[in-house]
Amino acid sequence: MTSSRVLHGIGVGSTATVGPCVRFSAPVTAPADEPRPSSQAEIDEAVRRLTDALQQVAEELEAAADANRNNETLGAVLQAAAEMAGDPELKDRSLQLIRTGVGPATAITRVVGEFADVFREIGGYMAERVGDLHSVRDRAVARVLGVPEPGLASMDAPGVVVALELTPADTSTLDMDKVLALVTQEGGPTSHTAIIARQMGLPCVVKVDGAADIPAGTLLAVDGAHDRVVVDPDEATQAEIRTRMANRSRLLDDTEPGATADGHRVQLLANIGTVADAEQAAATAVEGVGLFRTEFLFLDESEEPTVDNQAEAYRQVLAAFAGRKVVIRTLDAGADKPLAFANTTPEENPALGIRAFRLARRNPQLLAHQLEALARAVADTPQTEAWVMAPMISTADEAKDFREMANAAGLDHVGIMVEVPAVALQADRVLTNVQFASIGTNDLAQYTMASDRQLGALADLIDRWQPAVLKLVAQTAAAGQRLGRPVGVCGESASDPLMALVLAGLGITSLSMSIAAVPEVRFALRHTTLDKCQEMARAALDAADAKAAQEAVRSRVTPEVKEALALD
């Protein structure tokens, strides 16, 4: 009889499942003893092989992007990866190395390494694209060496996909109808794997030491709620997961507006990024959109989208939510999300540089055109309650400037994102200039704790339960209450049912999250009174550290919530 063993990682969401391990094969690497081309004929042949490989990879990724046009987020990322494979600088630099006597697999590996270092130094959005670079490298190396590319040999039946890490290109090859769960040895809570799992409500655990050593076919219990993967789970573990998931499925029956047990309203909204996201979210029991990321129209474009094109996309999103609310965030780009047409220059510390609202200092027409397009879309969809907000506001004057620009364009309900500690500390003054605020807890935590949100090694610092971050949230919410300004949360904190109770207790008026997270958050609120939420909030604020804050709140959860959400 095989005994169970438990592997720990970072859980994504709170779902769980049991199924057989399906291995996603690791990429082949350039051999240390790769033959070095010496004669002109050998160099020409190596140049041809790598040129053909990169062209084929680019064509495959382009085809994958076309096949995923219904998922605009994934399609856009695949398109960007295709452009990386076809990048002339990447190819030319690799061919230069070959002509100095370096093998083709080694050449592309070295050059991708150089590009990846630059991307990591830029940080933010560009750092997130390192995985795409590696995907291009892995596929090119496999073609040059004549070996299979990384992927699944087959997936004839449902299973748990286990990989070192999954890039968007990797994900595009999966039959998601057969994927029971995702497990990776690398990555973090904001990795592509985690984002996909969160969007689809799939059980997922990332950063699992030892995941790469699990043999194919091994039965696994993947438990996102408890940050673990159980290898060869016993019958009791399997039965507990089946019971818990059966109970969870009943949460979907509740489609009432968000509120605490005693009727205190907290709006439950969706985070979206594309028209396709909007259509999917609109078909669920959400009260609207709390964060419409408009970057999908801008990133990876060679020139600024026209006002007409922008207006049409915004119009489609607003029309999907007729009778509900949509909060639109203006362009969050620049520096770490560079735009080819914005003429931004490299910065040594881009996370603190010209990005989001600050981009208007160099390119005022970008924001002016976007506001014009938004105003057109809003005018054409009067049945939708449209709010607009700016990201990366740092001062009261910036808030006032944005409100005046939006008002001049014809937009009336104007707000800001609270991502910079300076705004939370000056919330009373800043909020007098706008009608509402939405707290982006991911960036607020990053700037408060001085820790890169993409760096898994600092995950403990970026923890949503850090009391210092919660105190800034509390301060902003309190200012909103004094001034009669609604203050929502649209960061990852909103999707955590336990944290949602704390946020409600702090005075947050709306929570925006992935649609998969809504049922559990709704249930937690509906089975907890406002007084209890406020008690939890005080306990979290008084805690010495993140772990103590979470435990203090967990100990106060009602039995119904504890059982339904497996919080024991």
- Note the pLDDT tens digit of each residue in 465-494: 999 999 999 999 999 999 999 999 997 789
Q: Are residues 289 and 338 in the same domain?
A: yes
Short-list 121, 129, 188, CA closest to 461: 188
- Do the domain assignments include residue 31? no
- Do the domain assignments include residue 96? yes
Domain boundary residue among 88, 123, 145? 145
Structure-token pair, residue 191: 């990795």
- Do the domain assignments include residue 35? no
pLDDT number for residue 184: 92
Domain boundary residue among 116, 145, 174? 145
C-alpha to C-alpha distance for 334 and 343, rounded to whole angstroms: 9
Q: The pTM is what?
A: 0.76
The CA-CA-CA angle for residues 325, 331, 332, to 5°, reads 105
C-alpha to C-alpha distance for 500 and 187, rounded to whole angstroms: 25
- Give the CATH number of the domain where residue 140 resides: 1.10.274.10
Section 199-228 average pLDDT: 91
pLDDT number for residue 74: 66
Q: Are residues 322 and 357 in the same domain?
A: yes
Section 390-412 average pLDDT: 96
Q: Are residues 128 and 200 in the same domain?
A: no
Q: Can you tell me whether residue 75 is helix, strand or coil?
A: helix
pLDDT number for residue 242: 92
Q: Are residues 99 and 196 in the same domain?
A: no
pLDDT number for residue 233: 96
C-alpha to C-alpha distance for 214 and 89, rounded to whole angstroms: 39
- Do the domain assignments include residue 421? yes
Section 432-445 average pLDDT: 94
461 backbone dihedrals φ, ψ, rounded to 5°: -75, -35
10 backbone dihedrals φ, ψ, rounded to 5°: -110, 115
Q: Are residues 327 and 219 in the same domain?
A: no
pLDDT number for residue 421: 96
DSSP state of 35: P
Q: Are residues 239 and 262 in the same domain?
A: no
Number of structural domains found in the chain: 3
- Do the domain assignments include residue 407? yes
- Other Cβ atoms less than 10 A from the Cβ of 553: the count is 23
Buried b or exposed e, range 47-70, using 16+ CB within 10 angstroms = bebbeebbeebbebbbebbeebee
Q: Can you tell me whether residue 191 is helix, strand or coil?
A: coil
- Give the CATH number of the domain where residue 14 resides: 3.50.30.10
Compute the Cα dihedral for 452, 457, 463, 466 and give only its sign.
negative
Residue whose structure tokens are 């807890």? 441
Q: 246 exposed, middle or buried (CB, 10 Å; 0-12, 13-18, 19+)?
A: exposed
- Give the CATH number of the domain where residue 382 resides: 3.20.20.60
- Do the domain assignments include residue 34? no
Q: Are residues 183 and 196 in the same domain?
A: yes
C-alpha to C-alpha distance for 241 and 246, rounded to whole angstroms: 8
Highest-scoring range by mean pLDDT, 34-43, 172-181, 358-367, 371-380: 371-380
Q: 29 exposed, middle or buried (CB, 10 Å; 0-12, 13-18, 19+)?
A: middle
The CA-CA-CA angle for residues 485, 488, 493, to 5°, reads 155
Buried b or exposed e, range 291-305, using 16+ CB within 10 angstroms = bbbbbbbbbbeeebb
Residues noted as catalytic: 192, 490
pLDDT-derived band of residue 361, with 50, 70 and 90 as boundaries?
A: confident
Please give the helix or strand (H or E) that residue 89 lies within, else none.
helix 88-99
| Whether 130 contacts 80, CB under 8 Å | no
- Do the domain assignments include residue 460? yes
Section 94-110 average pLDDT: 94
pLDDT tens sequence across 538-558: 999 999 999 999 999 999 999
Q: Are residues 91 and 219 in the same domain?
A: no
pLDDT tens sequence across 5-20: 999 998 887 789 999 9
Q: Are residues 424 and 537 in the same domain?
A: yes
Please, which residues bridge with residue 179 across strands?
Answer: 159
Alpha helix locations (H) across 123-225? 124-128, 130-145, 168-172, 192-200
- Do the domain assignments include residue 210? yes
- Close Cβ partners of 562 (under 8 Å, ≥ 6 residues apart): 568
Buried b or exposed e, range 514-537, using 16+ CB within 10 angstroms = bbbbbbbbbbbbbbbbbebbbbbb
Q: Alpha carbon of 13 to those of 164, 233, 427, 492, 494: distances in Å?
A: 20, 20, 31, 10, 12
Short-list 145, 155, 139, 146, CA closest to 31: 145
Section 312-321 average pLDDT: 97
- Other Cβ atoms less than 10 A from the Cβ of 547: the count is 12
203 backbone dihedrals φ, ψ, rounded to 5°: -60, 140
Compute the Cα dihedral for 334, 337, 338, 342 and give only its sign.
negative
Q: Are residues 187 and 134 in the same domain?
A: no
| Whether 297 contacts 313, CB under 8 Å | yes
Section 297-309 average pLDDT: 85
Q: Are residues 202 and 330 in the same domain?
A: no
pLDDT number for residue 84: 86
Domain boundary residue among 88, 113, 145? 145
Domain span at 177: 5-26+151-249
| Whether 360 contacts 366, CB under 8 Å | yes
Structure-token pair, residue 158: 């449902």
Please give the helix or strand (H or E) that residue 399 lies within, else none.
helix 396-409
pLDDT tens sequence across 217-250: 999 999 998 889 999 999 999 999 998 888 777 8
Structure-token pair, residue 127: 């750092």
C-alpha to C-alpha distance for 470 and 544, rounded to whole angstroms: 12
Instruction: Tell me: pLDDT of 456 over 60.
Output: no
pLDDT-derived band of residue 568, with 50, 70 and 90 as boundaries?
A: low
Short-list 381, 368, 379, 448, CA closest to 408: 368
Q: Are residues 369 and 461 in the same domain?
A: yes
pLDDT number for residue 337: 64
